[in-house]
Structure 1
Amino acid sequence: MRIRVSHEIIHRFAPPARTVNQILRLTPLSFDSQYVLRWRIDVDADGALRETEDGHGNAVASYSHHGLIERLAVSAAGEVETGDAAGVVRGAVERLPAEMYLRESPFAHVNGALRDFAAEASKGAADPLDSMHRLMTALNETIAFHPDEKDAAGSPVEAFALTRGRARDFAHIFIACARFLGVPARFISGYRVAGEESEKAGAHEWAEVHVPDLGWVAFDATVPICPDERYIRVAVGFDGQDGAMTRSAHSGGEEKIETAIRVEQAGAQSQA
């Protein structure tokens, strides 16, 4: 599937900000089932834009502006060719051993309730892959998906207690439970073309786990499926803190952010 993406983020500051610093993980990379045909990041204000790679192997653009500024627009756009690999990720850049993704992280940790849930969900599983499929299904049946949830939970523990959450909450709960079960797991941010009526096109977040013989396999418990050709994988992290596509900091002024994302199959119309 050929997917076209347009992602614009507008920051407004009142009064004007004195400095702005941004970390942009907005560039997808190619691997066996994902080929980046073209991609471009633009920032409409003067400043220093530096392209690097982080510890997870993500392409990172760091931007900084010093001096009064009222408005800043960041845009990412391009086309990506994808294929359905049943969630299996092969040929991707790997900078860390899988075992590193077993450690707890700020937004992916468990309590007693999550330990009990993970143990019950995986009971009787034939192998780690079966265990993860059972965990994904149980999570989908237990937590209500609220993509537009305003009061986002701060941790998987909170989201599980509320029994509702956004895609990020589903990913964090899944990751925390997988690690408790001894399966390396990590956070993924990217884009998705609309599927069923309840599946909106736009930015999305899910998880990957490392299983014997297959390597990294993606799981989206909000659906629940292993991501297919409708997904574009962009950034990897221990959780949503270092796996987010954008992070911004500024000094002075109140910030308002407007975001417009369009994700569509080339030749089709689907918008979010």
Structure 2
Amino acid sequence: MRLTVDHTTTYTYERGASYALLQVRKRPQNLPSQSILSWDLALDGARKEVSYSDHHGNLVDLVSLDPGAERVAITYRGEVETHDTAGVSGAHNQLIPLWLYERATKLTSAGKEIRALAGRFPDASPKDVNVLHDLMAAIGDAIAYETDTTDAETDAEEALKQGRGVCQDHAHVFIATARLLGFPTRYVSGYLMMMDRIEQEAGHAWAEAWVDGLGWTGFDVSNKICPDARYIRVATGLDYRDAAPVRGLLYGAERENLVVSIQVQQ
């Protein structure tokens, strides 16, 4: 399947920043599930300083904002040929070891609720992918998809306890629980072509677990499926913070307003 993506992030300020430096993770790379045909960056009110690969293997553009700019737009446009691999990404090709992905973070720490969920799978084995499918279904039933009920700082335990959240929360709960069950697991950010719309307000997120004999395998709790040809993978990490589309430093700005526009279509 050939997909096109148009992703613009626009910041406006009452007074522009005196200094700002952003790490932008919106650039996908060639993988068994996708071939990048084109991917271009356009900046207004900012400039690219350098591009590099981070410790998770993500492609990062380091962008500085023009001092005093009251409007900044970061736009990526690209075309990707996707391939349905039934969610299997395969081998671990990163420098960091697999056991790192068993480490809990602030957003994926296991509390009472997560441990109770993990307790429903007492016979889990690192080779049993069916356990992960069952876990995906259980989390989908436990957490209703509702926007504006959580934010970027909501952790897995809190999301499971309140029973509402979005794809980021689904992924964090899956990661926290799967790690307790002995699976190295990571967060994935990217794009999903939706069947009922082209315009989207945000990117998508899911999780990948390492299964002995299969390798990295994706699970999208929000849609209760493994990623197919409608998905484009962009960045991975221990949790959202490692794979966030934009992170950085901002000094001197006043009253920031953020607008995100995403179009994904065949």
Taking structure 1 as the reference length, the TM-score comes to: 0.90
Contact 1:37 1:78 in 2 (8 A): yes
- Structure 1 segments, 4+ long, off by >4 Å, are 123-127
Counterpart mapping for 1:24-35 below 5 A = 24-35=24-35
Secondary structure at 1:15 match in 2: coil
Contact 2:87 2:217 in 1 (8 A): yes
Q: How many residues align?
A: 262
Q: Could you tell me how far apart the structure 2 residues matched to 1:9 and 1:3 are?
A: 20
Question: 1:203-224: CA deviations, max 9, x gaps?
Answer: 1000000010111000001110
Counterpart for residue 17 of structure 2: 17
Question: 1:162-210: CA deviations, max 9, x gaps?
Answer: 101010000000000011111000000000001378xx79610000000
Counterpart for residue 205 of structure 1: 205
Counterpart for residue 101 of structure 2: 101
Counterpart for residue 251 of structure 1: 251
Secondary structure at 2:70 match in 1: strand
Q: Could you tell me how far apart the structure 2 residues matched to 1:61 and 1:36 are?
A: 17
CA distance 1:231–1:104, change in 2 (3 Å): same
Counterpart for residue 270 of structure 1: none
Counterpart mapping for 1:114-153 below 5 A = 114-120=114-120, 122-123=121-122, 127-146=127-146, 148-152=147-151
Q: Could you tell me how far apart the structure 1 residues matched to 2:184 and 2:251 are?
A: 37
CA distance 1:40–1:156, change in 2 (3 Å): same
Q: Could you tell me how far apart the structure 2 residues matched to 1:20 and 1:150 are?
A: 29
| Residue identity opposite 2:40 in structure 1 | R
| Residue identity opposite 1:258 in structure 2 | V
Q: Which moved more, 1:234-243 or 1:38-47?
A: 38-47
| Residue identity opposite 1:256 in structure 2 | N
| Residue identity opposite 2:159 in structure 1 | A
Contact 1:21 1:248 in 2 (8 A): yes
CA distance 1:131–1:10, change in 2 (3 Å): same
| Residue identity opposite 1:263 in structure 2 | V
Contact 2:206 2:218 in 1 (8 A): yes
Q: Could you tell me how far apart the structure 1 residues matched to 2:255 and 2:155 are?
A: 26
Contact 1:156 1:173 in 2 (8 A): yes
Q: Could you tell me how far apart the structure 2 residues matched to 1:164 and 1:95 are?
A: 36
| Residue identity opposite 1:260 in structure 2 | S
Q: Could you tell me how far apart the structure 1 residues matched to 2:16 and 2:65 are?
A: 12
Identity %, equivalent residues: 35
Counterpart for residue 154 of structure 2: 154
Secondary structure at 2:172 match in 1: helix
Counterpart for residue 268 of structure 1: none
CA distance 1:185–1:74, change in 2 (3 Å): same
Unaligned stretches of 5+ residues in structure 2: none
- Aligned-pair CA distance for 1:96: 1.9
- Aligned-pair CA distance for 1:46: 4.6
- Aligned-pair CA distance for 1:67: 2.2
| Residue identity opposite 1:149 in structure 2 | D
RMSD: 2.0
Contact 2:98 2:184 in 1 (8 A): yes
Q: Could you tell me how far apart the structure 2 residues matched to 1:91 and 1:82 are?
A: 18
Secondary structure at 1:241 match in 2: helix
Taking structure 2 as the reference length, the TM-score comes to: 0.92
Contact 2:46 2:63 in 1 (8 A): no
- Aligned-pair CA distance for 1:125: 5.2
Secondary structure at 1:254 match in 2: coil
Counterpart for residue 63 of structure 1: 63
- Aligned-pair CA distance for 1:128: 2.9
Secondary structure at 1:160 match in 2: helix
Q: Could you tell me how far apart the structure 1 residues matched to 2:91 and 2:202 are?
A: 25
Q: Could you tell me how far apart the structure 2 residues matched to 1:105 and 1:208 are?
A: 16
| Residue identity opposite 1:257 in structure 2 | L
Unaligned stretches of 5+ residues in structure 1: 266-272
Q: Could you tell me how far apart the structure 1 residues matched to 2:243 and 2:189 are?
A: 6
Q: Could you tell me how far apart the structure 2 residues matched to 1:160 and 1:236 are?
A: 22
Pairing 1:264–2:265 present: yes
| Residue identity opposite 1:45 in structure 2 | G
